[in-house]
Chain A
Amino acid sequence: GAGVSQSPRYKVAKRGQDVALRCDPISGHVSLFWYQQALGQGPEFLTYFQNEAQLDKSGLPSDRFFAERPEGSVSTLKIQRTQQEDSAVYLCASSPPEGGKTQYFGPGTRLLVL
């Protein structure tokens, strides 16, 4: 079956531009997570959705970061007025409704802010 997909895979933005990153979770997965992975480091949690409800956004680094999942499936992570420090890989993960042990990750979106 299809895994988690993310688009675009690569994004180059000029400083100050807004960007939108898309995540399509595995069909039927209730939980959706966004992580940010800086070069050479482990992923860091950004935000968590259960269906359409954003239950935890404690990891969003600033109010320039906004995430939504309006219909409980596809999610979009938006970054406004991008800064160079936003350059990273943004990973999306989903997990099934029975609260399974495993989060299944997408391939990530590599964002470079110039």
Chain B
Amino acid sequence: AQKITQTQPGMFVQEKEAVTLDCTYDTSDPSYGLFWYKQPSSGEMIFLIYQGSYDQQNATEGRYSLNFQKARKSANLVISASQLGDSAMYFCAMRGTLSGAAGNKLTFGGGTRVLVKP
């Protein structure tokens, strides 16, 4: 079984500052993928960034970077230079083995609400 834990229910961040959202995971799968999604008030889940368990380097996508520490089973999201439009719920998610039916589904954490202050 897979489990994702996000311990920060909500955070305030000042505009233009960086913010780190915590995510820890638990799995027995030897190969897995980690995802971060953004969910604004409109409800749609927007893909932000992906990290494979065997990727040698931490993933980056624009202002988003993933601090992947495999031994600690953590995959924290860093948002640099926060903007007002970054205010949303953020979900960490995991997918198990990269093939097969059971491996395709995403397991989500409980989310962290981010509010960017002007």
Contacts and interface: CB of A to CB of B under 8 A. Distances in A.
Interface band, chain A: 20 to 34
Interface in B2-49: 4, 33, 35, 37, 42-47
A42 B47 contact: no
Interface of B: 4, 33, 35, 37, 42-47, 50, 52, 91, 93, 98-99, 101-102, 104-111
Contact of B47 (A55, A103, A110): A103
B105 A104 contact: no
B43 A108 contact: yes
Contacts of A104: 47
B105 A59 contact: yes
Contacts of B43: 89, 107-108, 110
B91 A55 contact: no
A108 B107 CA distance: 17
A64 B60 CA distance: 42
B105 A45 contact: yes
30 contacts: A33-B106, A35-B106, A41-B110, A42-B4, A42-B91, A42-B108, A43-B45, A44-B108, A45-B105, A45-B106, A48-B105, A56-B102, A56-B104, A56-B105, A59-B105, A89-B43, A91-B45, A93-B45, A93-B106, A95-B104, A102-B35, A102-B47, A102-B50, A103-B47, A103-B106, A105-B46, A105-B47, A107-B42, A107-B43, A110-B43
Contacts of B33: 101
A27 to B, nearest CB: 18
B63 to A, nearest CB: 18
Interface string A30-64: 01010100000111110010100001101100000
A77 to B, nearest CB: 15
A43 B106 contact: yes
A106 B52 CA distance: 24
A99 interface: yes
Contact of B104 (A31, A42, A89): A31
B101 A50 contact: yes
Contacts of A56: 101-102, 104-105
